[in-house]
């Protein structure tokens, strides 16, 4: 029986999960997404190609490897169809190596309407959702009113769809939301619904399976499975900066419920962190920089959302948050991305503690959103050189190696690899 290795984000998302999964895929037989949905944007770069995936796992470019969308994932069929078409343009035929769980829940156009209605109703307290319908679709899942991929094969799917949509419209009206002026892109709800219904054909062309049996059979046959996380631990529904979170379990525990594998099958847990920190959307971010350095990180790191195009907020690496994420996930191996963004910095800072009401702490407080947090930072000298020609971990500049070894020390987790560019070829294994 082999194990399920896990790769997930330790911050507020966009740590470079897509790139690293693509790099690790040759070592695995199956790549499986276990949570999230089209709110994710996972960027892959290789051979001059840049490609962003949302619902489809990041192993898809490796034709001989199987990819699975697990039961814990949400599928928006119209976005899924666009993803499939974008892959076809790059000569990838995902029907050949992508299986989808019949138990994965569907995002309806009216879930997207409700997402917008909920955000509008929150006013200044809005979460900054990607507006892909994530919150409302997971709400229906938990309320036991949702529709699943397997339902599209049933004769009464349309009827169930209409019933659920009716309920959504009632809710939107209760929120005084102007349904007639709602648009997805340029489309009205009715126009988008027609597109959505058409795209069910694309979904039906895929192998729709009971992914829990499939994955457990793979493990019994000794096949290696990699679970690909979306979002990040600080966006986790339970442990993130609630309510400024997404609506799924983004941590290792989510792998078990999102794929149907037992806790005892979990192998390595690879946690990714940027060498600094970013966040997109609202919510607390203690190390956020509002100065020129913050702007520089955003510009040099091209920190614009892969799903929404929004500028990401930037700041120094946050060790209390990182330690918390390592604890929650049982991280066995750290992967650090994007130190190259700070190549010309004179100094690099690391927040090691929070100061709250004059007291130092290294715990994330329950009142994370309400209290004023001053980050206590240590300063490290910059490496002031390009990393472009570095091909071995130990050849990285000494200042960077020192910085990385402090990260290992304060988290208690060894670094497994460092990524030094967006490209597939630039990962240095320690
Ligand atoms: P994900 O959501 O975790 O897959 O990450 P995103 O794709 O949303 O954002 C990561 C961004 O950083 C993408 O534009 C990647 O191409 C880019 N990237 C990944 N690793 C590195 C790296 O080591 N250095 C630099 N400069 N960019 C990177
Ligand atoms: P990947 O997988 C960064 C953020 C949104 C918002 C909050 C809730 O690319 O790392 P939602 O659409 O889930 O209702 O949004 O979570 N968010 C992400 N931020 N990366 C992501 O995914 C994200 N997915 C959601 O910006 O603040
Ligand atoms: Mg992303």
Q: Is the CB of 134 under 6 A from ligand 2?
A: yes
What element of type H or E holds 6? Answer: strand 4-9
Q: Which DSSP symbol is given to 374? A: E
The answer to whether 168 is a known catalytic residue is no
The answer to whether 54 is a known catalytic residue is no
Q: Is the CB of 5 under 6 A from ligand 1?
A: no
Q: Is 412 left (phi over 0), alpha (psi -120 to 50) or beta?
A: left
Q: Is the CB of 250 under 6 A from ligand 2?
A: no
| From 22, 42, 51, 54, the catalytic residue | 42
Identify the nearest ligand to the CA of 275 by its number. Answer: 1
User: For 329, what's the count of Cα atoms within 13 Å in the CB-facing half-sphere?
Assistant: 36
Q: 140: CA distance to ligand 1 center in Å?
A: 32
Domain boundaries, the chain: 4-101+208-269, 105-203, 273-429
Nearest protein CA to atom 6 of ligand 1, as residue: 14
Query: What are the φ/ψ torsions at residue 248 (nearest 5 degrees)?
Result: -130, 170
**CATH classification number, 273-429, choose in 3.30.930.10, 3.20.20.80, 3.90.170.10, 3.90.226.10:** 3.90.170.10
Tell me how far apart the alpha carbons of residues 403 and 380 are, in angstroms, rounded to a whole number. Answer: 7
CATH 1.10.760.10 for domain 105-203, yes or no, is no
Q: Within a 10 A sphere around the Cβ of 355, how many other Cβ atoms? A: 14
Q: Tens of pLDDT along the chain (430 residues)? A: 999 999 999 999 999 999 999 999 999 999 999 999 999 999 999 999 999 999 999 999 999 999 999 999 999 999 999 999 999 999 999 999 999 999 999 999 999 999 999 999 999 999 999 999 999 999 999 999 999 999 999 999 999 999 999 999 999 999 999 999 999 999 999 999 999 999 999 999 999 999 999 999 999 999 999 999 999 999 999 999 999 999 999 999 999 999 999 999 999 999 999 999 999 999 999 999 999 999 999 999 999 988 888 899 999 999 999 999 999 999 999 999 999 999 999 999 999 999 999 999 999 999 999 999 999 999 999 999 999 999 999 999 999 999 999 999 999 999 999 999 999 999 999 9
CA 365 to chain centre: 23
Q: Is the CB of 229 under 6 A from ligand 2?
A: no
Give DSSP secondary structure letters for 22-64: HHHGGG-SEEEE-S--TT--EEEEETTEEEEESSS-TTTTSTT
User: What pTM was computed for the model?
Assistant: 0.97
| Architecture of domain 4-101+208-269 in this structure | 3-Layer(aba) Sandwich (3.40)
Tell me how far apart the alpha carbons of residues 396 and 418 are, in angstroms, rounded to a whole number. Answer: 10
Tell me how far apart the alpha carbons of residues 96 and 403 are, in angstroms, rounded to a whole number. Answer: 43
Q: Is the CB of 231 under 6 A from ligand 2?
A: yes
Using the atom order of ligand 2, give the atom closest to the CA of residue 280.
Answer: 26
Is 273-429 in the same CATH topology as 105-203? no
């Amino acid at each position: 029986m082999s194990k399920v290795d896990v790769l997930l984000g330790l911050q507020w998302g966009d740590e470079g999960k897509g790139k690293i999964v693509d790099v690790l895929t040759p070592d695995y037989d199956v790549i499986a997404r276990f949570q999230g949905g089209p709110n994710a944007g996972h960027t892959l770069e290789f051979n001059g190609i840049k490609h962003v995936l949302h619902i489809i796992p990041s192993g898809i470019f490796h034709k001989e490897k199987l990819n699975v969308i697990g039961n814990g994932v949400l599928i928006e069929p119209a976005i899924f169809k666009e993803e499939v078409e974008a892959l076809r343009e790059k000569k990838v035929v995902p029907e050949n190596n992508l299986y989808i769980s019949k138990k994965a829940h569907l995002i309806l156009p009216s879930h997207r309407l409700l997402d917008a209605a909920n955000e509008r109703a929150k006013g200044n307290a809005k979460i900054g959702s990607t507006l892909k319908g994530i919150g409302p679709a997971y709400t229906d899942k938990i309320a036991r009113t949702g529709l699943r991929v397997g339902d599209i094969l049933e004769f009464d799917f349309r009827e169930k769809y209409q019933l659920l949509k009716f309920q959504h419209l009632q809710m939107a009206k209760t929120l005084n939301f102007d349904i007639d002026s709602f648009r997805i892109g340029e489309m009205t709800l009715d126009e988008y619904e027609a597109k959505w219904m058409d795209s069910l054909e694309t979904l039906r062309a895929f192998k729709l399976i009971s992914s829990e049996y499939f994955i457990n059979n793979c493990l019994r046959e000794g096949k290696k499975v990699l679970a690909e996380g979306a979002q990040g631990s600080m966006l986790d529904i339970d442990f993130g900066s609630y309510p400024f979170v997404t609506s799924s379990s983004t941590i290792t525990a989510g792998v078990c419920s999102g794929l149907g594998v037992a806790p005892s099958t979990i192998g390595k847990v690879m946690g990714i962190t940027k060498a600094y920190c970013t966040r997109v959307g609202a919510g607390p971010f203690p190390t956020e920089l509002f100065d020129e350095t913050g702007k520089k990180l955003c510009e040099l790191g091209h920190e614009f959302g892969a799903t929404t195009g929004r500028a990401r907020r930037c700041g120094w690496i946050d060790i209390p948050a990182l330690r918390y994420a390592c604890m929650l996930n049982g991280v066995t191996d750290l992967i650090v991305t994007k130190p190259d963004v700070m190549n010309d910095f004179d100094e690099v800072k690391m927040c090691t503690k929070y100061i709250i009401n004059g007291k130092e702490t290294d715990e994330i407080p329950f009142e994370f959103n309400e209290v004023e947090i001053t980050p206590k930072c240590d300063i490290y000298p910059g490496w002031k050189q390009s990393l472009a020609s570095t091909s071995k971990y130990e050849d990285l500049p000494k200042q960077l190696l020192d910085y990385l070894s402090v990260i290992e020390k304060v988290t208690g987790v060894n670094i497994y690899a460092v990524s030094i560019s967006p490209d597939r070829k630039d990962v240095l294994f320690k």
